[in-house]
Chain A
Amino acid sequence: MEAFRRLSRNRLALVSLAVIALISALAVFAPWVTRYSYDAQDIAQRLQPPSWDHWMGTDTLGRDLYSRIVYGARMSLAVGLSTALFALLLGTATGAIAGFFGGWIDRILMRVVDIFYIFPSLLLAILLMLLLGRGFLGILLGIGMTAWVTQARLVRAQVLQARELSYVEAAKALGVSDLAVIVRHILPNIWGPIVVSLTVQIPANIMTESFLSFIGLGLQPPFSSWGTLASEGFRAMKSFPHLIVFPGGVLFVTMLAFNYLGDGVRDLLDPRSQANV
Protein backbone atom coordinates (compact mmCIF):
# COMPACT_ATOMS: atom_id res chain seq x y z
CA MET A 1 0.00 0.00 0.00
CA GLU A 2 2.77 2.35 1.02
CA ALA A 3 4.75 1.49 -2.09
CA PHE A 4 1.70 2.09 -4.25
CA ARG A 5 1.10 5.43 -2.63
CA ARG A 6 4.64 6.53 -3.26
CA LEU A 7 4.48 5.30 -6.82
CA SER A 8 1.25 7.14 -7.58
CA ARG A 9 2.65 10.20 -5.95
CA ASN A 10 5.75 9.97 -8.05
CA ARG A 11 3.62 9.52 -11.14
CA LEU A 12 2.08 12.86 -10.26
CA ALA A 13 5.58 14.25 -9.85
CA LEU A 14 6.53 12.88 -13.25
CA VAL A 15 3.52 14.47 -14.92
CA SER A 16 4.43 17.72 -13.16
CA LEU A 17 7.97 17.48 -14.43
CA ALA A 18 6.62 16.99 -17.95
CA VAL A 19 4.39 20.05 -17.61
CA ILE A 20 7.31 22.17 -16.40
CA ALA A 21 9.52 20.84 -19.19
CA LEU A 22 6.84 21.68 -21.76
CA ILE A 23 6.36 25.22 -20.49
CA SER A 24 10.12 25.74 -20.30
CA ALA A 25 10.50 24.47 -23.87
CA LEU A 26 7.79 26.86 -25.07
CA ALA A 27 9.57 29.68 -23.29
CA VAL A 28 12.97 28.83 -24.74
CA PHE A 29 11.70 28.33 -28.28
CA ALA A 30 9.20 31.19 -28.08
CA PRO A 31 9.91 32.68 -31.54
CA TRP A 32 9.35 29.28 -33.19
CA VAL A 33 6.14 28.33 -31.40
CA THR A 34 4.25 31.59 -31.82
CA ARG A 35 2.76 33.08 -34.96
CA TYR A 36 2.78 36.67 -33.80
CA SER A 37 5.33 38.84 -32.07
CA TYR A 38 4.48 39.54 -28.44
CA ASP A 39 4.24 43.27 -29.13
CA ALA A 40 2.67 43.25 -32.61
CA GLN A 41 -0.37 45.50 -32.29
CA ASP A 42 -3.42 45.12 -34.47
CA ILE A 43 -6.00 47.63 -33.31
CA ALA A 44 -8.63 46.26 -35.70
CA GLN A 45 -8.38 42.93 -33.89
CA ARG A 46 -8.46 44.25 -30.32
CA LEU A 47 -10.14 42.39 -27.44
CA GLN A 48 -11.11 39.43 -29.61
CA PRO A 49 -12.32 36.34 -27.77
CA PRO A 50 -10.43 33.12 -28.51
CA SER A 51 -10.63 32.20 -32.19
CA TRP A 52 -8.85 30.09 -34.80
CA ASP A 53 -6.36 32.89 -35.54
CA HIS A 54 -5.82 33.92 -31.95
CA TRP A 55 -6.61 30.84 -29.94
CA MET A 56 -6.34 32.66 -26.61
CA GLY A 57 -7.82 35.87 -27.98
CA THR A 58 -6.25 39.32 -28.14
CA ASP A 59 -5.70 42.10 -25.60
CA THR A 60 -6.66 45.78 -25.50
CA LEU A 61 -4.05 46.66 -28.13
CA GLY A 62 -4.89 43.73 -30.37
CA ARG A 63 -1.80 41.75 -29.38
CA ASP A 64 -2.03 37.96 -29.55
CA LEU A 65 -2.52 36.73 -26.00
CA TYR A 66 -0.98 33.30 -26.60
CA SER A 67 2.24 34.89 -27.87
CA ARG A 68 2.32 37.22 -24.90
CA ILE A 69 1.85 34.32 -22.48
CA VAL A 70 4.65 32.34 -24.12
CA TYR A 71 7.01 35.31 -23.99
CA GLY A 72 5.77 36.05 -20.46
CA ALA A 73 6.83 32.51 -19.53
CA ARG A 74 10.37 33.43 -20.51
CA MET A 75 10.35 36.29 -18.05
CA SER A 76 8.55 34.50 -15.24
CA LEU A 77 10.66 31.35 -15.43
CA ALA A 78 13.91 33.27 -15.82
CA VAL A 79 13.07 35.37 -12.78
CA GLY A 80 12.05 32.33 -10.73
CA LEU A 81 15.15 30.35 -11.60
CA SER A 82 17.73 33.12 -11.34
CA THR A 83 16.40 34.46 -8.04
CA ALA A 84 16.28 30.94 -6.60
CA LEU A 85 19.88 30.30 -7.66
CA PHE A 86 20.96 33.65 -6.26
CA ALA A 87 19.29 32.84 -2.95
CA LEU A 88 20.77 29.35 -3.04
CA LEU A 89 24.35 30.58 -3.47
CA LEU A 90 24.19 33.44 -1.01
CA GLY A 91 22.16 31.51 1.56
CA THR A 92 24.26 28.36 1.39
CA ALA A 93 27.52 30.30 1.70
CA THR A 94 26.26 32.34 4.64
CA GLY A 95 24.64 29.41 6.41
CA ALA A 96 27.62 27.11 5.92
CA ILE A 97 30.15 29.68 7.16
CA ALA A 98 28.01 30.64 10.15
CA GLY A 99 27.29 27.06 11.12
CA PHE A 100 30.81 25.75 10.59
CA PHE A 101 32.80 28.43 12.37
CA GLY A 102 30.30 29.39 15.06
CA GLY A 103 31.32 32.01 17.62
CA TRP A 104 31.33 35.68 16.67
CA ILE A 105 31.20 34.96 12.93
CA ASP A 106 27.98 33.06 13.49
CA ARG A 107 26.56 35.81 15.69
CA ILE A 108 27.27 38.57 13.18
CA LEU A 109 26.00 36.64 10.17
CA MET A 110 22.87 35.51 11.95
CA ARG A 111 22.19 39.06 13.09
CA VAL A 112 22.23 40.10 9.43
CA VAL A 113 19.95 37.20 8.58
CA ASP A 114 17.58 38.24 11.37
CA ILE A 115 17.29 41.76 9.99
CA PHE A 116 16.25 40.44 6.62
CA TYR A 117 13.97 37.96 8.33
CA ILE A 118 12.05 40.64 10.19
CA PHE A 119 11.82 42.82 7.07
CA PRO A 120 8.42 42.12 5.52
CA SER A 121 9.59 40.53 2.29
CA LEU A 122 7.39 42.41 -0.18
CA LEU A 123 8.38 45.69 1.47
CA LEU A 124 12.06 44.94 1.02
CA ALA A 125 11.58 43.78 -2.55
CA ILE A 126 9.71 46.98 -3.40
CA LEU A 127 12.38 49.20 -1.81
CA LEU A 128 15.21 47.36 -3.54
CA MET A 129 13.47 47.63 -6.89
CA LEU A 130 13.00 51.32 -6.30
CA LEU A 131 16.71 51.67 -5.72
CA LEU A 132 17.92 49.44 -8.54
CA GLY A 133 15.26 50.25 -11.09
CA ARG A 134 12.48 48.08 -12.42
CA GLY A 135 14.65 46.01 -14.73
CA PHE A 136 16.06 42.54 -14.43
CA LEU A 137 18.78 43.49 -11.90
CA GLY A 138 16.20 45.13 -9.64
CA ILE A 139 13.95 42.11 -9.66
CA LEU A 140 16.87 39.69 -9.22
CA LEU A 141 18.14 41.42 -6.09
CA GLY A 142 14.71 42.52 -4.91
CA ILE A 143 13.41 38.96 -4.75
CA GLY A 144 16.77 37.24 -4.20
CA MET A 145 17.63 39.30 -1.16
CA THR A 146 14.36 38.35 0.50
CA ALA A 147 14.64 34.67 -0.38
CA TRP A 148 18.19 33.87 0.70
CA VAL A 149 17.44 34.17 4.41
CA THR A 150 15.41 30.98 4.66
CA GLN A 151 18.16 29.18 2.80
CA ALA A 152 20.83 30.51 5.16
CA ARG A 153 18.91 29.36 8.24
CA LEU A 154 18.28 25.93 6.76
CA VAL A 155 21.89 25.33 5.76
CA ARG A 156 23.20 26.63 9.08
CA ALA A 157 21.01 24.20 11.01
CA GLN A 158 22.17 21.32 8.80
CA VAL A 159 25.84 22.28 9.09
CA LEU A 160 25.56 22.62 12.86
CA GLN A 161 24.43 19.00 13.01
CA ALA A 162 26.98 17.74 10.51
CA ARG A 163 29.84 19.54 12.25
CA GLU A 164 29.61 17.18 15.21
CA LEU A 165 29.69 14.00 13.13
CA SER A 166 32.74 11.81 12.97
CA TYR A 167 33.36 12.14 9.23
CA VAL A 168 33.92 15.86 9.72
CA GLU A 169 36.18 15.20 12.67
CA ALA A 170 38.09 12.66 10.61
CA ALA A 171 38.53 15.09 7.72
CA LYS A 172 39.76 17.77 10.11
CA ALA A 173 42.17 15.35 11.79
CA LEU A 174 43.62 14.53 8.38
CA GLY A 175 44.46 18.19 7.97
CA VAL A 176 41.85 19.05 5.34
CA SER A 177 41.37 22.82 5.12
CA ASP A 178 38.17 24.36 6.51
CA LEU A 179 36.94 25.39 3.07
CA ALA A 180 37.48 21.90 1.71
CA VAL A 181 35.70 20.34 4.68
CA ILE A 182 32.67 22.52 4.01
CA VAL A 183 32.60 22.24 0.23
CA ARG A 184 33.77 18.68 -0.29
CA HIS A 185 32.58 16.91 2.82
CA ILE A 186 29.66 18.66 4.46
CA LEU A 187 27.72 20.16 1.54
CA PRO A 188 27.50 16.90 -0.44
CA ASN A 189 25.99 15.29 2.66
CA ILE A 190 23.27 17.88 3.13
CA TRP A 191 22.30 18.49 -0.49
CA GLY A 192 18.90 16.79 -0.06
CA PRO A 193 17.22 19.56 1.94
CA ILE A 194 18.95 22.16 -0.22
CA VAL A 195 17.47 20.71 -3.41
CA VAL A 196 14.07 20.41 -1.77
CA SER A 197 14.17 24.06 -0.79
CA LEU A 198 15.08 24.99 -4.36
CA THR A 199 11.88 23.35 -5.61
CA VAL A 200 9.97 25.49 -3.12
CA GLN A 201 11.86 28.68 -3.93
CA ILE A 202 11.34 28.71 -7.69
CA PRO A 203 7.53 28.81 -7.61
CA ALA A 204 7.53 31.11 -4.58
CA ASN A 205 9.72 33.59 -6.44
CA ILE A 206 7.65 33.37 -9.62
CA MET A 207 4.69 34.20 -7.42
CA THR A 208 6.45 37.14 -5.75
CA GLU A 209 7.40 38.56 -9.14
CA SER A 210 3.82 38.27 -10.31
CA PHE A 211 2.65 40.05 -7.13
CA LEU A 212 5.04 42.91 -7.78
CA SER A 213 3.96 43.18 -11.40
CA PHE A 214 0.35 42.99 -10.37
CA ILE A 215 0.53 45.98 -8.05
CA GLY A 216 2.40 47.85 -10.75
CA LEU A 217 5.80 47.76 -9.10
CA GLY A 218 7.30 44.93 -11.11
CA LEU A 219 9.15 44.78 -14.40
CA GLN A 220 8.48 47.66 -16.74
CA PRO A 221 7.54 47.39 -20.39
CA PRO A 222 8.87 46.13 -22.78
CA PHE A 223 9.36 43.29 -20.28
CA SER A 224 6.18 41.47 -19.52
CA SER A 225 5.59 38.53 -17.25
CA TRP A 226 2.55 36.49 -16.29
CA GLY A 227 1.96 38.93 -13.46
CA THR A 228 1.84 41.86 -15.86
CA LEU A 229 -0.63 40.00 -18.09
CA ALA A 230 -2.84 38.97 -15.17
CA SER A 231 -2.85 42.53 -13.91
CA GLU A 232 -3.95 43.81 -17.31
CA GLY A 233 -6.58 41.09 -17.41
CA PHE A 234 -7.84 41.83 -13.91
CA ARG A 235 -8.87 45.33 -14.91
CA ALA A 236 -10.96 44.07 -17.82
CA MET A 237 -12.17 40.80 -16.40
CA LYS A 238 -15.86 41.62 -16.23
CA SER A 239 -16.25 42.14 -19.97
CA PHE A 240 -13.30 40.13 -21.23
CA PRO A 241 -12.74 37.20 -18.88
CA HIS A 242 -10.32 35.52 -21.31
CA LEU A 243 -7.73 38.17 -20.47
CA ILE A 244 -7.43 36.84 -16.92
CA VAL A 245 -8.46 33.20 -17.45
CA PHE A 246 -5.55 32.33 -19.77
CA PRO A 247 -2.57 33.98 -18.04
CA GLY A 248 -4.01 33.04 -14.65
CA GLY A 249 -4.67 29.47 -15.73
CA VAL A 250 -1.16 28.99 -17.10
CA LEU A 251 0.36 30.44 -13.93
CA PHE A 252 -1.85 28.21 -11.78
CA VAL A 253 -0.94 25.06 -13.69
CA THR A 254 2.76 25.92 -13.47
CA MET A 255 2.56 26.54 -9.72
CA LEU A 256 0.60 23.32 -9.26
CA ALA A 257 3.25 21.39 -11.20
CA PHE A 258 6.08 22.90 -9.16
CA ASN A 259 4.32 22.10 -5.90
CA TYR A 260 3.56 18.49 -6.85
CA LEU A 261 7.11 18.08 -8.09
CA GLY A 262 8.44 19.56 -4.87
CA ASP A 263 6.40 17.07 -2.83
CA GLY A 264 7.70 14.22 -4.95
CA VAL A 265 11.31 15.31 -4.64
CA ARG A 266 10.93 15.67 -0.89
CA ASP A 267 9.51 12.18 -0.51
CA LEU A 268 12.29 10.83 -2.66
CA LEU A 269 15.15 12.56 -0.88
CA ASP A 270 13.83 12.54 2.63
CA PRO A 271 11.57 9.55 3.28
CA ARG A 272 11.38 10.36 6.98
CA SER A 273 9.47 13.60 6.67
CA GLN A 274 6.70 12.86 4.24
CA ALA A 275 4.22 15.48 3.18
CA ASN A 276 5.44 18.31 5.31
CA VAL A 277 4.62 21.83 4.28
Chain B
Amino acid sequence: MMAFVLRRLAGAVPTLLLLATLTFFLLRLAPGGPFDGERAWPPEIMANIQARYGLDRPLPVQFGQWLADLARGDLRESFQYIGRPVSEIIGESLPVSLGLGIWALLFSIVIGIPLGCLAAWKRNTWLDHSAMFIAIAGVSLPSYLVASVLILVFALWLGWVPPALWEEPSSAILPVLTLGSRPMAIIARLTRASMLDSLNADYIRTAYGKGLAASRVIFKHALKNSIIPVITVLGPLAANLVTGSFLVEVVFQIPGMGKHFVQAVLNRDYPLVMGVTLAYGVILILSNLLVDLVYAWADPRIRLES
Protein backbone atom coordinates (compact mmCIF):
# COMPACT_ATOMS: atom_id res chain seq x y z
CA MET B 1 0.00 0.00 0.00
CA MET B 2 2.87 2.33 0.84
CA ALA B 3 4.28 1.74 -2.64
CA PHE B 4 0.90 2.57 -4.14
CA VAL B 5 0.67 5.83 -2.21
CA LEU B 6 4.21 6.83 -3.17
CA ARG B 7 3.65 6.01 -6.82
CA ARG B 8 0.46 8.07 -6.84
CA LEU B 9 2.18 11.01 -5.16
CA ALA B 10 5.04 10.86 -7.64
CA GLY B 11 2.50 10.77 -10.47
CA ALA B 12 0.89 13.88 -9.02
CA VAL B 13 3.97 16.04 -9.59
CA PRO B 14 3.71 16.24 -13.41
CA THR B 15 -0.03 16.78 -13.11
CA LEU B 16 0.49 19.72 -10.77
CA LEU B 17 3.19 21.10 -13.07
CA LEU B 18 0.80 20.97 -16.01
CA LEU B 19 -1.90 22.59 -13.91
CA ALA B 20 0.49 25.39 -12.97
CA THR B 21 1.66 25.86 -16.57
CA LEU B 22 -1.85 26.05 -17.93
CA THR B 23 -2.94 28.48 -15.22
CA PHE B 24 0.13 30.65 -15.66
CA PHE B 25 -0.29 31.13 -19.39
CA LEU B 26 -4.08 31.45 -19.34
CA LEU B 27 -3.77 34.08 -16.66
CA ARG B 28 -0.95 36.00 -18.28
CA LEU B 29 -2.34 35.96 -21.78
CA ALA B 30 -5.61 37.44 -20.52
CA PRO B 31 -5.93 41.19 -21.07
CA GLY B 32 -5.45 43.53 -18.14
CA GLY B 33 -2.72 43.74 -15.53
CA PRO B 34 -2.32 44.03 -11.76
CA PHE B 35 -1.44 47.72 -11.87
CA ASP B 36 -4.16 48.97 -14.20
CA GLY B 37 -5.77 51.42 -11.84
CA GLU B 38 -8.37 54.10 -12.20
CA ARG B 39 -5.80 56.59 -13.38
CA ALA B 40 -3.00 55.83 -15.81
CA TRP B 41 0.52 55.88 -14.42
CA PRO B 42 3.26 57.75 -16.25
CA PRO B 43 5.06 55.20 -18.45
CA GLU B 44 8.35 55.49 -16.53
CA ILE B 45 6.68 54.64 -13.22
CA MET B 46 4.79 51.79 -14.85
CA ALA B 47 8.04 50.43 -16.29
CA ASN B 48 9.64 50.63 -12.84
CA ILE B 49 6.80 48.75 -11.20
CA GLN B 50 6.85 46.11 -13.93
CA ALA B 51 10.61 45.70 -13.48
CA ARG B 52 10.26 45.53 -9.69
CA TYR B 53 8.02 42.48 -10.03
CA GLY B 54 9.88 41.03 -13.01
CA LEU B 55 6.85 41.48 -15.24
CA ASP B 56 8.90 43.06 -18.03
CA ARG B 57 10.65 39.86 -19.06
CA PRO B 58 9.34 37.35 -21.61
CA LEU B 59 6.59 35.07 -20.26
CA PRO B 60 8.52 31.76 -20.48
CA VAL B 61 11.38 33.34 -18.52
CA GLN B 62 8.96 34.59 -15.89
CA PHE B 63 7.42 31.14 -15.65
CA GLY B 64 10.87 29.59 -15.22
CA GLN B 65 11.63 32.01 -12.40
CA TRP B 66 8.31 31.28 -10.74
CA LEU B 67 9.07 27.54 -10.92
CA ALA B 68 12.54 28.09 -9.50
CA ASP B 69 11.02 30.00 -6.58
CA LEU B 70 8.42 27.28 -6.13
CA ALA B 71 11.14 24.64 -5.97
CA ARG B 72 12.60 26.58 -3.05
CA GLY B 73 9.18 26.63 -1.42
CA ASP B 74 8.63 30.32 -2.12
CA LEU B 75 5.20 31.25 -3.47
CA ARG B 76 6.18 34.95 -3.55
CA GLU B 77 4.29 37.93 -2.21
CA SER B 78 0.77 38.93 -3.09
CA PHE B 79 0.27 42.02 -5.24
CA GLN B 80 -2.95 43.22 -3.61
CA TYR B 81 -1.95 42.57 0.01
CA ILE B 82 1.39 44.30 -0.32
CA GLY B 83 4.21 42.56 1.49
CA ARG B 84 2.18 39.51 2.53
CA PRO B 85 3.58 36.18 1.33
CA VAL B 86 1.12 34.05 -0.62
CA SER B 87 2.02 31.07 1.56
CA GLU B 88 0.86 33.01 4.61
CA ILE B 89 -2.46 33.92 2.97
CA ILE B 90 -3.02 30.30 1.98
CA GLY B 91 -1.96 29.15 5.43
CA GLU B 92 -4.72 31.32 6.90
CA SER B 93 -7.48 30.63 4.39
CA LEU B 94 -6.88 26.94 3.66
CA PRO B 95 -7.99 25.73 7.12
CA VAL B 96 -11.17 27.80 6.74
CA SER B 97 -12.03 26.28 3.34
CA LEU B 98 -10.98 22.82 4.42
CA GLY B 99 -13.05 23.02 7.59
CA LEU B 100 -16.05 24.21 5.64
CA GLY B 101 -15.62 21.38 3.13
CA ILE B 102 -15.12 18.64 5.71
CA TRP B 103 -18.14 19.70 7.77
CA ALA B 104 -20.24 19.87 4.63
CA LEU B 105 -19.10 16.40 3.58
CA LEU B 106 -19.84 15.02 7.05
CA PHE B 107 -23.26 16.62 6.99
CA SER B 108 -23.99 15.16 3.56
CA ILE B 109 -22.94 11.64 4.63
CA VAL B 110 -24.69 11.71 7.99
CA ILE B 111 -27.97 12.91 6.48
CA GLY B 112 -27.68 11.47 2.98
CA ILE B 113 -27.05 7.80 3.79
CA PRO B 114 -29.88 7.35 6.33
CA LEU B 115 -32.21 9.28 4.01
CA GLY B 116 -31.36 6.93 1.14
CA CYS B 117 -31.77 3.84 3.35
CA LEU B 118 -35.12 5.07 4.60
CA ALA B 119 -36.32 5.69 1.05
CA ALA B 120 -35.28 2.21 -0.07
CA TRP B 121 -36.78 0.59 2.99
CA LYS B 122 -40.13 2.36 2.66
CA ARG B 123 -40.04 2.14 -1.11
CA ASN B 124 -42.98 3.74 -2.95
CA THR B 125 -44.50 5.20 0.20
CA TRP B 126 -44.87 8.90 0.92
CA LEU B 127 -41.64 8.66 2.91
CA ASP B 128 -39.75 7.46 -0.16
CA HIS B 129 -41.35 10.08 -2.37
CA SER B 130 -40.63 12.96 -0.02
CA ALA B 131 -37.06 11.80 0.60
CA MET B 132 -36.46 11.62 -3.13
CA PHE B 133 -38.08 14.99 -3.69
CA ILE B 134 -35.66 16.48 -1.17
CA ALA B 135 -32.84 14.73 -3.02
CA ILE B 136 -33.83 15.92 -6.46
CA ALA B 137 -34.46 19.43 -5.15
CA GLY B 138 -30.99 19.33 -3.64
CA VAL B 139 -29.39 18.79 -7.02
CA SER B 140 -31.73 21.25 -8.75
CA LEU B 141 -31.22 24.21 -6.44
CA PRO B 142 -28.15 26.33 -7.15
CA SER B 143 -26.33 26.88 -3.88
CA TYR B 144 -26.91 30.63 -3.90
CA LEU B 145 -30.64 29.96 -3.80
CA VAL B 146 -30.22 27.52 -0.92
CA ALA B 147 -28.19 30.24 0.74
CA SER B 148 -30.84 32.88 0.03
CA VAL B 149 -33.61 30.80 1.55
CA LEU B 150 -31.53 29.87 4.60
CA ILE B 151 -30.35 33.44 5.19
CA LEU B 152 -33.82 34.85 4.71
CA VAL B 153 -35.51 32.40 7.08
CA PHE B 154 -32.93 31.60 9.76
CA ALA B 155 -30.87 34.77 9.86
CA LEU B 156 -33.11 37.65 8.80
CA TRP B 157 -36.56 36.50 9.97
CA LEU B 158 -35.85 34.20 12.90
CA GLY B 159 -32.49 35.74 13.82
CA TRP B 160 -31.12 32.41 15.12
CA VAL B 161 -27.77 32.57 13.32
CA PRO B 162 -25.65 35.31 11.75
CA PRO B 163 -26.40 35.93 8.05
CA ALA B 164 -22.77 36.11 6.98
CA LEU B 165 -19.12 36.45 8.03
CA TRP B 166 -16.96 33.95 9.88
CA GLU B 167 -16.72 35.00 13.48
CA GLU B 168 -18.41 32.60 15.88
CA PRO B 169 -19.05 28.85 15.61
CA SER B 170 -22.69 29.49 14.71
CA SER B 171 -21.52 31.42 11.63
CA ALA B 172 -20.60 28.06 10.12
CA ILE B 173 -24.09 26.55 10.26
CA LEU B 174 -25.66 28.14 7.19
CA PRO B 175 -22.57 27.84 4.94
CA VAL B 176 -22.16 24.17 5.86
CA LEU B 177 -25.84 23.45 5.15
CA THR B 178 -25.60 25.33 1.85
CA LEU B 179 -22.46 23.59 0.71
CA GLY B 180 -23.61 20.18 1.93
CA SER B 181 -27.08 20.19 0.38
CA ARG B 182 -25.99 19.07 -3.07
CA PRO B 183 -23.65 16.22 -2.05
CA MET B 184 -26.27 15.17 0.50
CA ALA B 185 -28.83 14.84 -2.29
CA ILE B 186 -26.43 12.90 -4.52
CA ILE B 187 -25.49 10.52 -1.71
CA ALA B 188 -29.14 9.95 -0.78
CA ARG B 189 -30.11 9.04 -4.34
CA LEU B 190 -27.13 6.78 -4.80
CA THR B 191 -27.65 5.03 -1.46
CA ARG B 192 -31.28 4.38 -2.32
CA ALA B 193 -30.44 2.93 -5.75
CA SER B 194 -27.65 0.76 -4.42
CA MET B 195 -29.79 -0.32 -1.48
CA LEU B 196 -32.64 -1.41 -3.72
CA ASP B 197 -30.20 -3.72 -5.52
CA SER B 198 -28.97 -5.21 -2.27
CA LEU B 199 -32.44 -5.75 -0.87
CA ASN B 200 -33.16 -8.32 -3.58
CA ALA B 201 -30.15 -10.44 -2.63
CA ASP B 202 -30.43 -13.87 -1.06
CA TYR B 203 -28.59 -12.99 2.13
CA ILE B 204 -31.22 -10.38 2.87
CA ARG B 205 -33.93 -13.00 2.60
CA THR B 206 -31.85 -15.18 4.92
CA ALA B 207 -31.51 -12.34 7.41
CA TYR B 208 -35.27 -11.77 7.39
CA GLY B 209 -35.72 -15.56 7.61
CA LYS B 210 -33.69 -15.61 10.80
CA GLY B 211 -36.27 -13.27 12.21
CA LEU B 212 -34.09 -10.17 12.43
CA ALA B 213 -35.81 -6.81 12.73
CA ALA B 214 -36.16 -4.90 9.48
CA SER B 215 -34.18 -1.91 10.78
CA ARG B 216 -31.29 -4.22 11.65
CA VAL B 217 -31.37 -5.93 8.26
CA ILE B 218 -31.43 -2.58 6.46
CA PHE B 219 -28.86 -0.64 8.43
CA LYS B 220 -26.49 -3.51 9.15
CA HIS B 221 -26.63 -6.19 6.47
CA ALA B 222 -27.84 -4.32 3.40
CA LEU B 223 -26.03 -1.04 4.07
CA LYS B 224 -22.65 -2.74 4.35
CA ASN B 225 -23.03 -4.11 0.85
CA SER B 226 -24.54 -0.98 -0.65
CA ILE B 227 -21.90 1.44 0.51
CA ILE B 228 -19.29 0.82 -2.21
CA PRO B 229 -20.90 2.93 -4.97
CA VAL B 230 -21.34 5.71 -2.42
CA ILE B 231 -17.61 5.65 -1.70
CA THR B 232 -16.79 5.89 -5.40
CA VAL B 233 -18.66 9.19 -5.74
CA LEU B 234 -16.84 10.72 -2.79
CA GLY B 235 -13.94 11.63 -5.10
CA PRO B 236 -16.04 13.62 -7.57
CA LEU B 237 -17.97 15.01 -4.60
CA ALA B 238 -14.78 16.36 -3.07
CA ALA B 239 -14.12 18.18 -6.35
CA ASN B 240 -17.69 19.40 -6.22
CA LEU B 241 -17.15 20.78 -2.73
CA VAL B 242 -14.05 22.66 -3.86
CA THR B 243 -16.01 24.31 -6.66
CA GLY B 244 -19.01 24.84 -4.43
CA SER B 245 -16.98 26.45 -1.70
CA PHE B 246 -16.14 29.27 -4.11
CA LEU B 247 -19.68 30.43 -4.28
CA VAL B 248 -20.49 29.77 -0.65
CA GLU B 249 -17.46 31.74 0.47
CA VAL B 250 -18.41 34.66 -1.76
CA VAL B 251 -22.06 34.60 -0.68
CA PHE B 252 -21.32 34.37 3.05
CA GLN B 253 -18.20 36.57 2.96
CA ILE B 254 -16.06 33.78 4.38
CA PRO B 255 -12.30 34.45 4.24
CA GLY B 256 -11.46 31.13 2.56
CA MET B 257 -9.40 30.31 -0.49
CA GLY B 258 -12.30 30.54 -2.91
CA LYS B 259 -13.05 34.11 -1.98
CA HIS B 260 -9.36 34.95 -2.30
CA PHE B 261 -9.24 33.30 -5.70
CA VAL B 262 -12.15 35.32 -7.07
CA GLN B 263 -10.67 38.54 -5.68
CA ALA B 264 -7.19 37.67 -6.92
CA VAL B 265 -8.44 36.93 -10.42
CA LEU B 266 -10.31 40.21 -10.58
CA ASN B 267 -7.25 42.14 -9.35
CA ARG B 268 -4.82 40.11 -11.49
CA ASP B 269 -2.91 39.20 -8.35
CA TYR B 270 -0.80 36.66 -10.25
CA PRO B 271 1.16 35.11 -7.36
CA LEU B 272 -1.98 34.60 -5.30
CA VAL B 273 -3.93 33.03 -8.17
CA MET B 274 -1.06 30.63 -8.86
CA GLY B 275 -0.70 29.72 -5.20
CA VAL B 276 -4.40 29.11 -4.64
CA THR B 277 -4.72 27.06 -7.84
CA LEU B 278 -1.85 24.83 -6.76
CA ALA B 279 -3.38 24.44 -3.32
CA TYR B 280 -6.69 23.37 -4.88
CA GLY B 281 -4.83 20.92 -7.14
CA VAL B 282 -3.09 19.36 -4.15
CA ILE B 283 -6.37 19.06 -2.23
CA LEU B 284 -8.07 17.34 -5.16
CA ILE B 285 -5.22 14.90 -5.73
CA LEU B 286 -5.01 14.03 -2.03
CA SER B 287 -8.75 13.57 -1.68
CA ASN B 288 -8.87 11.29 -4.72
CA LEU B 289 -6.04 9.25 -3.25
CA LEU B 290 -7.84 9.06 0.07
CA VAL B 291 -11.03 7.90 -1.64
CA ASP B 292 -9.12 5.13 -3.46
CA LEU B 293 -7.64 3.95 -0.17
CA VAL B 294 -11.01 3.95 1.58
CA TYR B 295 -12.42 2.13 -1.42
CA ALA B 296 -9.83 -0.64 -1.22
CA TRP B 297 -10.32 -0.89 2.52
CA ALA B 298 -14.10 -1.19 2.19
CA ASP B 299 -13.96 -3.79 -0.57
CA PRO B 300 -11.05 -6.22 -0.19
CA ARG B 301 -11.69 -7.54 -3.71
CA ILE B 302 -10.29 -4.31 -5.10
CA ARG B 303 -6.54 -4.32 -5.58
CA LEU B 304 -4.63 -1.07 -5.50
CA GLU B 305 -3.11 -0.34 -8.86
CA SER B 306 -2.12 2.96 -10.36
Contact = CB atoms under 8 A, between A and B. Distances in A.
Q: Which label, helix, strand, loop or mixed, suits the secondary structure of the A interface?
A: helix
Interface string A225-255: 0010011011001100100100010011001
A51 B174 CA distance: 33
Interface string B112-146: 00000000000010000000000011011111110
B136 A259 contact: yes
A122 B142 contact: no
Interface stretch (B101-109, B186-194, B202-210, B219-227): B186-194
- For the complex of A and B, 9 pairs with smallest distance between CB atoms: A255-B140, A130-B30, A127-B26, A131-B30, A275-B193, A122-B243, A256-B140, A248-B145, A277-B190
Given A118-B285, A127-B30, A130-B30, A214 B136 contact: no
A120 B145 CA distance: 22
Contacts of B32: 130
B290 interface: no
- Best-buried of A130, A230, A241 by chain B (most CB within 10 Å): A130
A251 B124 CA distance: 28
Contacts of B22: 115, 119
B284 A118 contact: yes
Contacts of A5: 124
B262 interface: yes
A163 to B, nearest CB: 21
Interface in B247-276: 247, 250-251, 261-262, 265-266
A159 B210 CA distance: 46
Interface string A196-222: 000000010001001100111100000
A274 interface: yes
B46 interface: no
Nearest to A249: B145
B191 to A, nearest CB: 10
B295 interface: no
B26 A131 contact: yes
A5 B125 CA distance: 12
Contact of A215 (B19, B139, B246, B277): B246
Contacts of B124: 1, 5
Contacts of A43: none
A71 interface: no
Interface in B133-179: 136-137, 139-145, 148, 151-152, 156
Nearest to B189: A277
Given A127-B26, A127-B27, A230 B284 contact: no
B196 interface: yes
B216 to A, nearest CB: 25
A63 to B, nearest CB: 20
